[in-house]
Chain A
Amino acid sequence: MTKTVLTIDDSRTMRDMLLMALEDAGYTVIQAVDGVDGLETLASKGADVIITDINMPRMDGFGVIEGVRADPNHRTTPVLVLTTESDVEKKARARAAGATGWIVKPFDPVKLVDAVRRVAA
C-alpha cells in the first residue's frame, strides 16, 4: 500500500516541488495551503506523514504540529517541518512542539525522500 504524505505549504511552488519529488518516489500526496486547511485535511483524509511549512497564514507550522500532537487520531503521525530557517531557535521550538524531523529548503529531492522514508513506517 502506498503511503500518503500530506504537504502543507502556502507556496504553490513549494507544493509542486514536493509533489513532484514525492510522487516520483511512489508516495501518494495530498496538499493543504495553510495550517488550518492542513489540520482539516488531516482530519478528513488522514496521512502517514505530514510535511509542513513554518510561515503560513491563518495557522503556522508550530500550530500544525501542536494540533497533530493534540489529536488522538494522529498524535503519532510523523511531522516533518519544512523551513528555510536553519536557526537553532526555530528548530528547537519545532522539536519542543513535537516535530519528528525537518527538511531544510531548498531541498534536494533525494534527501527529501530519505527524510520521509526515515519517519514513515
Chain B
Amino acid sequence: MDAFEAIKATFFQECDELLADLEAKLMLLEQGQTDLETINAVFRAVHSVKGGAGAFGLEALVRFAHVFETLMDELRAGRKPCDAITIKTLLRASDVLADHIQAAQGLIPPVDEARSAALVAEMQVLTHGGEAPVEIEEDEDDFGFTPMAFDMALDEPASLPIVDLGADAPSVGWRIVFKPMGRMYVNANETSLLLRELGRLGPVTVVVDDSETPTLDALSIEDGCLTWTIDLAAAVDEAAVREVFDFVESDCDLTITPLGAGGATDIGAFDDEPAAVLPASDDLDIAALLAKASGAAVEPAAEVVPFAPLELERTPAPIAAAPAVEPVAASVAAPVAATPAPASAPVAPAPVTIRVDLDRVDRLINVVGELVIQQAMLSQRVLESGLARSSGIALGLEDLELLTREIQDSVMAIRAQPVKSVFQRMPRLVREVADMVSKQVRLVTAGEDTEVDKTVVERLAEPITHMLRNAIDHGLETPEERVAAGKPAEGTVRLAALHRSGRIVIEISDDGRGINRERVKKIAVDKGLIAADAPLTDEQIDNLIFAPGFSTAAVVSDISGRGVGMDVVKRSIQALGGRISISSVPGKGSTFTLSLPLTLAVLDGMVVTAAEQTLIAPLPAIVESLTPQAVDLHFVGGVDPVIRFRDRFLPLIDVALIMGFRERPMNPTEGVAVVVETEGGQQAALLFDAIQGQRQVVIKSLETNYQQVEGVAAATILGDGRVALILDVDVLVTDMRRKSVRPDFKLAS
C-alpha cells in the first residue's frame, strides 16, 4: 500500500469516528441540547469529512457533505433555528452521509440518487428558507478550486497601473516595486524570503531605498520604511511573480510592470539615487544581499549604530539578529526575553495517543505469550529440582511470575477498546427499526467505555444488532398496546456493558411485554423441539427461543424475521467463547445477558489426557464431566457407543481413537466422559483417559506454525514445556465422528 492509499485508509477510519461523533452530537441535539458547541461539533465533523473527501476526489461524498455543511453553518451562525424538523432532517442526512462514505469505500453500491437528492433538497430548503433551492453546482467552486490560486483581486490597491500582459504574453522581465507595511512584519512575513522566492524565478537585481528610514529611536513596528525595487530578468508570467507576494499583497504597496527588452539593465533610471545595486544571480545569496543592502543604507546615516553580523537562522528569536536590516526587528526583538511563555491553557489536555500497526501489537502479544510459557516452565523446573520454596531463586521466580502476569495484562490492554464504537452505531439502527414497525423507542446506553479485546468488539456488532432488532420488533408493544397496558407510549430499550468476573457482560433489556411462555411452549411442541408434556421451568421455556429453528414471530417481518433466529445469535456468541441467557417477566419486559471472554488470545481450558497425549478442551464448550458406568453405556447397532446422560443418550466419542493416538477403543468405564455442547447446540460426550486440571492457556495458531489439523483448533505450550493441542469440539462432534468412528471400530473388533 503506498502512502496515499494508507492515508486514504486513515481517512475512512477517521470517517467512522467522525460519524460516531456526529451521531452522538445529533442525539444530544435531539434531546434538546442545542447549544452552540454541540452544533459546532456537528459542523466540524461534516466539515472534516468534506475536507478529506475533497482531497481524494470523492465527488458524490463532497457534494452531499457540502450541502450538509452549509446547513450546519446556517445553524451555528444562528440564522436558522435548530428546531425538531431540522434535527430530524439532520439525523437522516447523517445516515445518508454514512452511506455515501461506505459507498466511497466500495463497501456498498453507490447511494440511491433519488434518496440522496431528496435529502439535499430538504436541507437546501432548510438552508435557504422557502426560496428555490440553489443548484449544488453553483457552490462547486468552494471545493473544486485550484490549490493556492488565491483571488488575486482581493485588496488590490485601486491605483496600481497593472499591465495586463500576464498570463498570455510573458515579458522578458518584470520590475517589482515593493514597499512593505509594518503589518507585514507583524504577520511574520519577511522581505528577505520574498526576495529569495523571486530569486528562484530568475536573475534579480535589487535596489533598496532607505531614504524614509527614521533614526533608530523613532523606529516603530507599525512603520514600513524601506522601498525595494527588484528587476527580475525572467520570462515568467505575471501570475508567477504575483504569487510570490500572495500572502503580503494587502500588507504592502506593490507594483509589477513589465520590463522593456533592455529589462534589467536600466535600473539606473530609477527615481532616487540607488542605495545599492546588487548583481543578478541565479542562486541569490540573501545574507550577502541584505548585508550589502543595509550596509549601503547605514553608511550615509552616520548616527545609526553598526549592526551585528547577519544571522538568518530563524531560531530562537529570528529577527533580533538583524536589527538594522528590518526596522521592525528592533522593536520586535526587545521584549523577546522579557516575559516567559504564558502558562499552558487551563483546559484538560487531549489524551496523547499513538497509532500502532495491529500486527506489531499482535507480535508483542505473541512474544509475551512465549514469555508466560517460559516463565511457567522455569517455575516448574525449579519446583522439580527440589529447591526450598523459601530459597532466593524460588522467591525471585514468584516475583517474576507476578511481573509476567502484569506484562501480559498490560499487553492485552493495548488491544482493548471501548465498546463505544459498536454502541454508537445502534441509535441509527433503533431509529430505522422503530420507524419500520411504527413503534416509539428510546435507546438508553450505559457502560460505553467498557473495554474488551478489539477482535471481540468487532464481533459484538452483529449479535447486538440482532438482539436490538428483536427487542424492538418482538419485545416492545405498539404505542396503543402500551398505553392500554398503562405504560408510556414510548418503549425503552437499554443497552449496557459491564465487566464481571473477568468477562464482559452485555445486557439488552426492554420494558415490553416479556416472553409469552404459553406461546413459546406451544411453538416448541408444534415444531417438535420438546415433548408436549415436558416439565419445564419458566427459565427453560424462555431459553427455548435459542433452540435452532425456533422463531416466535407469527408474521415474518422485515426486521428480525429474516430466517435467522436467536439460535444464530447464540451460535455467534459461542463462537467467541461466550454465553447467552434470557430472563423475562411477563408484562414487564425481557433482559438478554451475554457474557464474553475479554480476549481471544487466551483461553480457559480443561487439560485432559488421551492415550498419553495432553489435550485441551475449551471450557466454554464443556457442560459437565462424569465417570461412565457400565450400566449407562449402550452400543447403537452394536458399534457406536452412547452414554446415558440425564435421561438422554449422547454419542460417546473416544477422542484418542478418532485422533489416531491409538488403534483400539478404550474401555469407557476406565476413562472420563466430558459432556460438551457445540455451537449448534448439539451435545456429545468426549471420552478421555483422565482430567489433569483447568488452566488458562495462551492460544498458538497451528495453521501459521504447522498446518491445519482436523479436530484441532489451535495449540498451546504447557508449563512443563509440552505442546498440547486445543480441541475443536465442533469438528470432533459433527464431522470426524461420522467419518472415522465406524471403520476404526470395525477394524478393532
Chain A residues within CB distance 8 Å of chain B? 1, 3, 10-14, 16-17, 20, 33-34, 36-37, 39-40, 43, 46, 48, 55-59, 67, 69-79, 84-86, 88, 91, 95, 98-108, 111-112, 114-115, 117-121
Asked whether, in the complex, the Cβ of B342 is within 8 Å of the Cβ of A70, the reply is yes
- Show 23 A/B contacts (Cβ-Cβ < 8 Å), sorted by A: A10-B48, A11-B52, A13-B11, A13-B52, A14-B51, A17-B7, A17-B55, A20-B3, A39-B344, A40-B344, A43-B341, A55-B47, A55-B48, A57-B41, A70-B342, A73-B317, A84-B50, A100-B188, A111-B148, A118-B244, A119-B189, A121-B314, A121-B318
Residue of B142, B197, B247 touching A102 (CB-CB under 8 A): B247
Asked whether, in the complex, the Cβ of B14 is within 8 Å of the Cβ of A33, the reply is no
Asked whether, in the complex, the Cβ of B315 is within 8 Å of the Cβ of A48, the reply is yes
- Report how far A66 CA is from B660 CA in the complex, Å: 77
Asked whether, in the complex, the Cβ of B339 is within 8 Å of the Cβ of A72, the reply is yes
Asked whether, in the complex, the Cβ of A118 is within 8 Å of the Cβ of B247, the reply is yes
- Report how far A11 CA is from B315 CA in the complex, Å: 28
Chain B residues within CB distance 8 Å of chain A? 3-4, 6-7, 10-11, 13-14, 40-41, 43-44, 47-48, 50-52, 54-55, 141-143, 145, 147-151, 154, 185-190, 192-194, 197, 244, 246-247, 250-251, 312-319, 332, 335-339, 341-342, 344-345, 347, 349-350
How many Å from the CB of B626 to the closest CB on chain A? 56
Contacts A14-B52, A86-B142 known; A57 to B313 CB distance under 8 Å? no
- Report how far A88 CA is from B156 CA in the complex, Å: 13
Contacts A72-B335, A119-B247 known; A84 to B143 CB distance under 8 Å? yes
Which residue on B lies nearest to A63, using beta carbons? B345
How many Å from the CB of A29 to the closest CB on chain B? 14
Which B residues are in CB contact (< 8 Å) with A85? 142
Asked whether, in the complex, the Cβ of A55 is within 8 Å of the Cβ of B192, the reply is no
Residue of A39, A78, A103, A121 touching B345 (CB-CB under 8 A): A39
Which A residues are in CB contact (< 8 Å) with B194? 118
> Taking each of A71, A84, A105, A120, which has the highest tally of chain B beta carbons within 10 Å of its own beta carbon?
A84
Contacts A104-B145, A106-B54, A111-B147 known; A20 to B7 CB distance under 8 Å? yes
**Inter-chain contact total with CB atoms closer than 8 Å:** 173
Asked whether, in the complex, the Cβ of B345 is within 8 Å of the Cβ of A36, the reply is yes
Q: A16-B10, A43-B341, A101-B247 are in contact. List 14 more A-B contacts (CB 8 A).
A: A16-B7, A36-B344, A40-B349, A55-B48, A58-B347, A59-B347, A71-B341, A72-B339, A76-B314, A84-B54, A104-B145, A105-B55, A111-B147, A118-B244
Which B residues are in CB contact (< 8 Å) with A77? 188, 314
Asked whether, in the complex, the Cβ of B147 is within 8 Å of the Cβ of A95, the reply is no
Asked whether, in the complex, the Cβ of B336 is within 8 Å of the Cβ of A73, the reply is yes
- Report how far A121 CA is from B709 CA in the complex, Å: 65
Which B residues are in CB contact (< 8 Å) with A11? 14, 48, 51-52
Which B residues are in CB contact (< 8 Å) with A112? 147
Asked whether, in the complex, the Cβ of A84 is within 8 Å of the Cβ of B142, the reply is yes
- Report how far A111 CA is from B335 CA in the complex, Å: 34
Which residue on A lies nearest to B320, using beta carbons? A76
- Report how far A67 CA is from B11 CA in the complex, Å: 29
Which B residues are in CB contact (< 8 Å) with A118? 193-194, 197, 244, 247
Asked whether, in the complex, the Cβ of A95 is within 8 Å of the Cβ of B250, the reply is yes
Asked whether, in the complex, the Cβ of B349 is within 8 Å of the Cβ of A88, the reply is no
- Report how far A12 CA is from B17 CA in the complex, Å: 10
8 shortest interchain CB distances as A-B pairs? A101-B247, A106-B55, A13-B11, A121-B314, A111-B148, A13-B52, A78-B188, A106-B54
Asked whether, in the complex, the Cβ of B347 is within 8 Å of the Cβ of A36, the reply is yes
Which residue on B lies nearest to A77, using beta carbons? B188
Residue of A34, A67, A103, A120 touching B350 (CB-CB under 8 A): A34
- Report how far A88 CA is from B152 CA in the complex, Å: 11
Which B residues are in CB contact (< 8 Å) with A10? 44, 48
> Taking each of B149, B193, B244, B339, which has the highest tally of chain A beta carbons within 10 Å of its own beta carbon?
B193
Asked whether, in the complex, the Cβ of B14 is within 8 Å of the Cβ of A12, the reply is yes
- Report how far A59 CA is from B349 CA in the complex, Å: 12
Contacts A56-B44, A76-B188, A100-B187 known; A119 to B345 CB distance under 8 Å? no
Asked whether, in the complex, the Cβ of A72 is within 8 Å of the Cβ of B189, the reply is no
Which B residues are in CB contact (< 8 Å) with A86? 141-142, 145, 150-151
Residue of A57, A69, A72 touching B44 (CB-CB under 8 A): A57
Asked whether, in the complex, the Cβ of A40 is within 8 Å of the Cβ of B345, the reply is yes
Contacts A36-B347, A98-B186, A100-B247 known; A46 to B7 CB distance under 8 Å? no
Which B residues are in CB contact (< 8 Å) with A69? 186
